[in-house]
Chains A and B, each alone.
Chain A
Amino acid sequence: MKQKITVIPRYGSSFKDKLYLPAIYDGVKVTFKHLFDNVSDINAVDTLEYPEEQPTDITDRYRGLHRLTQRSDDSIACVACFMCATACPSNCIFIEATEREDGHDEKMPKSFFIDTLECVFCGYCVEACPCDAIRMDTGIFSLTGNSREDFVLNKEQLLANKGAFGEENSCARD
């Protein structure tokens, strides 16, 4: 079999290359062009003035803040199977199960905490969930708080987060 071999020429052996100065001149030309263009029209710089301008290019596959989904009758889709807590690599999901009395399944979470300071946003909990009960499609990328406790989200906060990309309820339970 004939192999395709491309020989890349080695630079740096000619006198011009060894002088360094022409290369530095070329480099400075490039950087100075950028500097001059941006100084003469600062608003052409393609950045986001973040707090005033919000990003508009968040896709539906973006792993944002977690949320717990609901069934069509607004009851929680989670059945407290602990799959997400088991799959979690950073052990940041804390579930306490209780008996369920709304007639759907046997179990539901009594409390459901996610410590977002521990969370690495890997999405394994979403993969592991058999009921499509935990999702990361809120599109929320920044979470702020004044204390460590503010970052531990409880069940109500997680339920209050809404999906940003159309799908509202759990697709696995109805």
Chain B
Amino acid sequence: MSLAAILIAILSFVLGALLALLTIPVLVWLERRVASLIQDRLGPNRTNVFGFRFGGVVQSFADVVKLLLKEEYYPSHIKTGKWLFMLAPVITFAVALLAFMAIPFADTLHIDGEALRVQALPIDYGVLWYLAIGAIGVLGVIFGGWLSHNKYALLGSARAGSMVISYELPLGLSILAFIITYNTVDFNAMVQWQSGTFFAFLPAWGILVQPIASIILIVSLFAETNRNPFTVAEGESEIVAGFMTEHTAMKFAMYFMGEYIAMNTASAVIITVIFGGYQIPWVSTEMMLQNFSVFAMVLMISVPVIVGLLIKWMRKNNTVRPTVSTDSGRNFETKVLTIALLSMTALIEVILLYLAFFADSSLANSITVMLFQIVVFVVKLMMFNIFFILIRWTVPRFRYDQVQHLGWYYLLPLSLLNLFITALVVVGIT
């Protein structure tokens, strides 16, 4: 293990933890903001630290503080197994966190002949890891629901359990179709496979190569993460809060955060398996490394454009209407953020200029490409999270029997058929 290897390992671990944990408040805020903007409202936009609101994302941190300081309340009717009642949310949370760790954030880094995976857990069987660990998460839900000694919680956990059983099958079968297509169980190799093209011009993304399996994968992941339209385990209109009816304060927050991490993980799996992961279409890592100066030039042109658009958008929208008496420091915030963004852009430009024309270090080049891929990954991840939220505020809930019907009668036969056809085609080609 060289120094670079250790550094990359630490970096990818920290990145994995950050992407999983720091996105929770962002996602909670995003959910509320996107929901309100869809419904022509504003949503939380007031909470600030020294006048910095960042669009209101500070609100989520205030909520976390509230949940931490809330009174820990234990239902007195729970006589036996209080420890398991308390442990159950932790199981869900920890498992959701673990499942995220197998996602690659950038392509494998080659330093001095050493292949370093930019993955929190450097494993080459990521798909199996996700399927295995993802299945444990529901146990926390079931244990928590059963030990609540509450009818709603019992119903919620029973529903969660049967949901997992019915949707794990189409999920597994659709992922199996992808495994057959890509001929690997490694997430990173899957992404590398998708960097090519097929039919000469289309990017070889999973959604174009395997449309049916992609749709089944997306639907079953929605069901797995208990998001709308499949909120059967905690249907507010039927069974109060479902399995977490008796859980309060931080125990509730654990379930809540676990749900958001699961959503984040589902987005990450979707983009890794069917949307080309950390790659932009048509461009593979080798292409970027070989034509590094061209890549740096394109980046040098596009970064100021993107930042300029961002600043323009911020100047227009980080304001209040003229009828409002005070802007609560929005002008000041805009100014400071503009300066910060501009200086960051200048720094990036200088570094890119140096790397493209003056330095000739393959290590620096590959690290630049890695950072670029991480940025692409994060952007794609956030886009898919917004898609999850958009679907939640578009589609009404399914009834419980409809969900089961959809899973067993349509998705399972369809995924079996798709698997069969895929196997035939793959065997026919090879």
The answer to whether any beta carbons of A and B sit under 8 Å apart in the complex is yes
The answer to whether B320 and A43 touch across the interface, beta carbons within 8 angstroms, is yes
Contact of A52 among B40, B41, B215, B324 (CB under 8 A): B324
Mark A4-40 against chain B: 1 for CB-CB distance below 8 A, else 0: 0000000000000000010010011011101100111
When distances are taken between beta carbons in the complex, the residues of chain B under 8 Å from A30 are: 394
Given A27-B395, A38-B37, A42-B42; A32-B390 close (CB under 8 Å)? yes
Chain A contact residue count (CB 8 A cutoff): 21
When distances are taken between beta carbons in the complex, the residues of chain A under 8 Å from B313 are: 40
Flag whether A143 is at the interface (Cβ < 8 A): no
The answer to whether B317 and A28 touch across the interface, beta carbons within 8 angstroms, is no
A31, B324: Cα distance in complex, Å: 28
The answer to whether A53 and B323 touch across the interface, beta carbons within 8 angstroms, is yes
A24, B316: Cα distance in complex, Å: 32
Flag whether B295 is at the interface (Cβ < 8 A): no
A39, B389: Cα distance in complex, Å: 15
Distance (Å) between the CB of B310 and the closest chain A CB?
12
Flag whether A41 is at the interface (Cβ < 8 A): yes
When distances are taken between beta carbons in the complex, the residues of chain B under 8 Å from A53 are: 321, 323-324
When distances are taken between beta carbons in the complex, the residues of chain A under 8 Å from B317 are: 39-43
Q: Which of B315-331 contact A (CB under 8 A)?
A: 316-317, 319-321, 323-326
The answer to whether B395 and A43 touch across the interface, beta carbons within 8 angstroms, is no
Distance (Å) between the CB of A52 and the closest chain B CB?
4
A21, B222: Cα distance in complex, Å: 14
Chain B contact residue count (CB 8 A cutoff): 23
- 5 closest Cβ pairs, A-B complex: A38-B37, A27-B394, A52-B324, A42-B317, A31-B394
A40, B310: Cα distance in complex, Å: 11
Task: Output the nearest chain A residue to B319 by Cβ-Cβ distance.
Answer: A43
When distances are taken between beta carbons in the complex, the residues of chain B under 8 Å from A1 are: none
A148, B39: Cα distance in complex, Å: 35
Distance (Å) between the CB of A28 and the closest chain B CB?
5
Distance (Å) between the CB of A13 and the closest chain B CB?
16
Flag whether A57 is at the interface (Cβ < 8 A): no
A42, B390: Cα distance in complex, Å: 18
A53, B38: Cα distance in complex, Å: 22
When distances are taken between beta carbons in the complex, the residues of chain A under 8 Å from B394 are: 24, 27-28, 30-31
Distance (Å) between the CB of B232 and the closest chain A CB?
17
Flag whether B393 is at the interface (Cβ < 8 A): yes
Q: Which of B372-394 contact A (CB under 8 A)?
A: 390-391, 393-394
